[in-house]
Amino acid sequence: MNFIEMLQQAEKLNNSMLCVGLDPEPSRFPGSWRGDASRIYDFCSAIVDATKDLVIAFKPQIAYFAAQRAEDQLERLMAHIKRVAPNVPVILDAKRGDIGSTAEQYAREAFERYQADAVTLSPFMGFDSIEPYLRYPDKGAILLCRTSNAGGSDLQNQRLADIPGQPLLYEHLAQLAQTAWNRNGQLGLVVGATFPAEIERVRELAPDLPLLIPGVGAQGGDARATVHAGWRGQAGRTTGPIIVNSSRAVLYASAGEDFAAAARAVALRTRDELNQARQA
């Protein structure tokens, strides 16, 4: 299966729109593991084991591993997810953005070294920074579109005077991802949960694309507003799933030895909250 098919299968199998982000901070690990970077794999694999039947995807953030010289643990973790949750796609959150042979190497890193099913990318160097990833036809490429950070508006919310209709930059990017750039049906978009109006606008412009929506949980995004803005379940409106990410709220639900059970409880509650929003 390709990435889109894996998403659709995981959504149905686990009845879920929830993605658990794997952002390991050793200083927040429980008990005797606290501060011990050699326990990154142990911590993350325990979270995976506790939540694997509740999620549409897992999303490890590569910087949290690289900063601790734990890339080998990331490789082990990716292999572990493939083994215990083969129907759940893994999105490598790397936000790469370069061209030519460098982009080719980044694509190899994501898809060959780490065996990711999809990778997040910064598209602001244009299509030739995206194209090397599309040479892997079964993989996904999820482009930053309308992010929820305070500085996102510096560029993403600016109007493009030379394009008919003068769209905002993020609107133009959504249109490109839905049409000209999406040559093999591999693209998705990142839209922050703290901007539900923009999620709705992106969904209007890109009805078929998966939307990766970070920011629910510790970052303050509203689960119900997110689902109402991005999910379209009625026949004929859209086939693009939403992937609603929560990281810290799940990972650090408890600082005790019950951390995995607590993570499961928060993931279950969040999954159910997202599902209830579909009925509202």
Catalytic residue of the set 52, 82, 95, 139:
95
Residue type, 229: A
φ/ψ of 178, rounded to 5, equals -75, -30
Calculate the CA 136 to chain-centre distance: 18
Catalytic status, residue 95? yes
Residue numbers annotated as active site: 95
